[in-house]
Amino acid sequence: MRATGLSCGRGGMVLAGNLDFSLHNGQALLLRGPNGAGKTTLLLTLAGIVAPMAGNFVPGDRADMPLLHYCGHRNATKPRLSVLENLAFWATLNGPTGMAPSAALAIVGLGGLDSLDAGYLSAGQSRRLALARLLVSLRPLWLLDEPTAALDDQGHQLVSQLLAQHLAMGGLAIAATHDPITLPDATRLSTLVLEPIR
């Protein structure tokens, strides 16, 4: 992933401008900054959901992108579907190239809740279900918006473990977060601080 002179925003307003960064296989980038600095908009731009206002980046300007997972700050679950049905839907949609949904649920701490309607999950459990999508369909680039939101201490450790495993397989990750994220190999992690444009 490489960005040069990248500017992004919404409604004609630049939120993050003239950004230059690059990531190599096995590396993660943390996006830091106050609310409104453009972290989410940058992720949406890299995901191809919002058009860049200037500059360029690779990958991201391709139409055929089974390259990435975008895991937004909303969990995108269907409350009347079971936990397993939710995850199976995403596996079917994104391609079942990873582990089986039931195995992914066990890894994220939702084993045994397969048949429960997702609407009964707590906020932290819903977040764990969203993270399980990363495991059922393998994609090299993870774009994560507040991946630890609503998670307890064990959930924070889970996110670190999932990231470490993904990077060890040569994956890339960009995460917007206000929470600390640590990895066993700190050299795999860098930070980009975004400041609001006045």
**CATH 3.40.50.2300, domain 1-67+176-198, yes or no:** no
Q: What is the overall mean pLDDT for the chain?
A: 94
* C-beta atoms surrounding 72 within 10 Å: 17
Residue 152: which residues within 8 A CB-CB, separation 6 or more?
124
Domain boundaries, the chain: 1-67+176-198
Q: 190 with 29: CB under 8 angstroms?
A: yes
Whole-prediction pTM value?
0.94
| Closest by Cα among 149, 129, 132 to 83 | 129
- Give the integer Cα–Cα distance in Å for 28 and 166: 10
Task: Report pLDDT for 197.
Answer: 78
Residue 9: which residues within 8 A CB-CB, separation 6 or more?
15, 16, 17, 38, 41, 53
Q: What is the pLDDT of residues 50-79, one digit of tens each?
A: 999 999 998 744 445 468 999 998 999 999
